[in-house]
Structure 1
Amino acid sequence: MAKKNLKIAFFGSSIVSAYWNGAATYYRGIVKSLNKMGHSVTFYEPNIFERQKNRDIEDPDWCEVIIYEKDKLNLRSLLRGVQEEADVIIKASGVGVFDEFLEYEVAMMKEEDNLVIFWDVDAPATLERMEEDNSDPFIPLVPEYDFILTYGGGKPVIETYESFGAQKCIPIYNALDTETHFPVEEEEKFNATLAFLGNRLPDREKRVEEFFIKPANELTNENFILGGSGWGDKNLPSNVNYLGHVYTIDHNAFNSSPRAVLNISRNSMATFGFSPATRVFEAAGAAACIITDYWEGIEQFFEPGKEILVVKNGDELTKILKELNDAEARKIGKAALKRVLGEHTYQHRAKLLEKIFSKELFGEESVK
């Protein structure tokens, strides 16, 4: 039985702002579910990238949020308090400032009665970096952490982390937050044949051109919607409506209104597979008909053809859009919603985390 009221310190990019921060809803779902189980979480995030000016939420009642300035002396002071109080200390990848410093300091906080965890929300990028540079300062730290948790990646990521000496690597996949993502009435401004929401990133852009822009050029009589930051100067077809940043308050309508919603993986995530994006579960939670580019491991989360539509190139996607009617799209969306409610909510993920925490701290026999 896991100890109740664990004190968990979590260093991450941001839990209050999704601005240039795709991990925000992932963190919220995990932390909120841990709080419901009786654990208290303090989330430490830096005041950078104008995220505090572009908040999606105020400080929540399900965790304490501590925002620190870009000041290493102040951060050292925070860390001293964390080591004295916390049962579990988590350093997430991609905090955005003092990452190497935090990775070392958190690893060195290991004591007999606590857990230190590195939570990699972009494992493909981290592993690629370490494989290309054997002097990477994170390499000797990997074995010092009790657990390496990852945002996804499946067996390839687990085996690669273990090759660097990880004591235990366990994926904690994205999931659905049932309190924030659910079906809503359609909104006219989001009506379209196909909608895609994603920030402009170098290792995703060519795939966006193939899976979104190419079909839009082919289907000139259909309407397409593009949401996300950074696409303002992109040459887009005239039938693409670019919305810019879409705040989380509008995500349900964005997912519920179009005939289909597109998921496009980043190159690194597609290469490693087993890495469904947060927005896949958000869209499924809104009963959207999801079309995704192919990546290994899809079948672990959704049944292709019944709960999700899978394409390997833009031509296949164009063909699907020509044949997909509203009734079939709604049927697929309802099946996806049923699947995530049964297997892929953050309550499911938090139960796994409790097993992980209790194994090291309180004598659980195994993590299943």
Structure 2
Amino acid sequence: MLQNKKILLAVCGSVSFYKAYEILSSLKKLGADVYVMLSDGALNFTQVQSFQALCDHPVLSSQTEDWHNGIGHMGYSRMDLVIIAPASVNTINKLAAGICDNVFMETLIASSNVPLIIAPAANNRMLEHFSTVNSLSLLEKNGAIIIEPVRKTLACKDVGKGGLADVNSIVYAAQRAILTDRFYQDKTVVVTGGPTEEKIDDVRTITNLSSGKMAKALADAFYFLGADVIFITSVDFEVPYKVIKFDSSFGLQSALYNQKLKKDDIIVMAAAVSDYIPNKIKGKLDKNEIGDILNLKFKKAPDIISGVTDNKIKKIGFKLEVSDEEALYNARNMLKEKNLNAVCLNVLGNTVKFGGDNTKITFMTEKTKIELKENSKREVALEIANLIKVYV
């Protein structure tokens, strides 16, 4: 996802410095080419060698600066993204004032044309001081992305908003900073995902085997590309964008229909919605009264996506089939009958499995049929988002 993207991870002096190891590892797993720079404050907590063990490049610090070997502020400023995590109050205020009194600050100042993420970590009173507040505001006005610290019991035993943000939040922000596409920046994308649960009685439900992983990958992809994402899901996920929970078909319908969308916004209907809903029995079924065979009555579930009739909104549907023979025919019918702009077809088999991490999709519009190769759901989701940009 971040293949060949050069990222500089700048680590300041903080007791949360150890989380920088996790950030470094996570970015590398996404394919990023990560460089590391340590402030003098960070060197009070750790050593160059500990980061060098995880990094594929020499670690830049006041101890290792070497102009002859290209380990200096200009070489390490030529990046696709700079992340300061944890960011100390000292570095935040120096950066806002443009102070270059060491190689760490020289490198940050030289990176002025590079996207910047700042994840502060310090005592809450230091972060709330007017100088720090003004510095963060100034940096944000000039394009820096500020990842808000979290409230916790700090190392000094004070309780306040000063802990380094969750590593996943920082990594999400890094992907969004690098992958943002102008096409998606002003758009709201609603993604639905997960199975519906329909009540049989007050203690039993009927559901399906959807894991919600593909929907989550899609919501992530649109977020990384810069969209304002609303994820309507029945499965719990920790994500940095808006999440609305549902359980039943009617809950999903209500959540979707309550969204205020504008022209060219997008709905991606990836939720696995029940085709039929049982007539709920009040209370609890009594097996002693029912006997050996339970008969249930079902009614047809609402056709939720067809109920979105605003033609200015782009609608993308998902179609799961169990046989190749009728899959394309059924997907074509779905495209027309539900007035969709595109259908993502997948056929259950060796690649497409419930709960799997890989998938294989055929992307279809009225005029196109594009078969995507088997890949991780994360990569396929990005491909789908790019196909929507081109063909929808």
TM-score category of the 2 structures, normalised to the smaller one: 0.3 to 0.5
Higher relative contact order (CA 8 A, sep 6+): 1
Q: Which structure has the highest strand share of the two?
A: 2
Greater Cα radius of gyration, structure 1 or 2: 2
Q: Which structure has the highest helix share of the two?
A: 1
